[in-house]
């Protein structure tokens, strides 16, 4: 089984990406917030303010949220994962897009 690469400080590279994204300036600890609307609004504001993003604001914000959910994986408790999944729908609403239902 392959080992996961870590940064020089011993932390995983994915933690570094969410802390110091090249595209978005994220609010500190935003993914730990318990309010999906607050997470969505913060990501929306970051994406709209950024001039370093490579795609449209909605896509940049959704990509960062999805990246975090995927990278946190088994370390996310069910309650926080549910909140982050709800934040996806809130993000779609904030950008005037229809939320998807599974």
Q: What sections of the chain are H helices per DSSP?
A: 13-19, 36-49, 57-72, 78-94
Tokens linked to 44: 């929306």
Neighbours of 67 (CB within 10 A): 14
Cβ distance 47 to 61 under 8 Å?
yes
Boundaries of every domain in the chain: 13-94
Tokens linked to 34: 């318990």
Q: Write down the pLDDT at residue 7.
A: 46
- Each residue's pLDDT, cut to its tens digit, for the chain (102 residues) gives 555 444 455 555 455 555 555 557 888 899 999 999 999 999 999 999 887 767 799 999 999 999 999 988 788 899 999 999 999 999 999 999 976 665
62/25 Cα distance (integer angstroms): 14
Half-sphere exposure of 99 (CA within 13 A, CB side): 12
55/84 Cα distance (integer angstroms): 22
């Amino acid at each position: 089984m392959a080992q996961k690469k870590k940064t020089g400080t011993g932390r995983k590279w994915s933690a570094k990406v969410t802390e110091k994204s090249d595209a978005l300036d994220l609010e500190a600890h935003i993914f730990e917030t318990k309010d999906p609307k607050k997470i969505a609004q913060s990501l929306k504001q970051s994406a709209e303010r950024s001039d370093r993003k490579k795609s449209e604001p909605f896509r940049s914000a959704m990509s960062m949220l999805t990246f975090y959910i995927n990278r946190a994986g088994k370390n996310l408790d069910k309650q926080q994962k549910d909140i982050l999944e709800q934040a996806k729908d809130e993000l779609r609403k904030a950008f005037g897009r229809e939320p998807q239902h599974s």
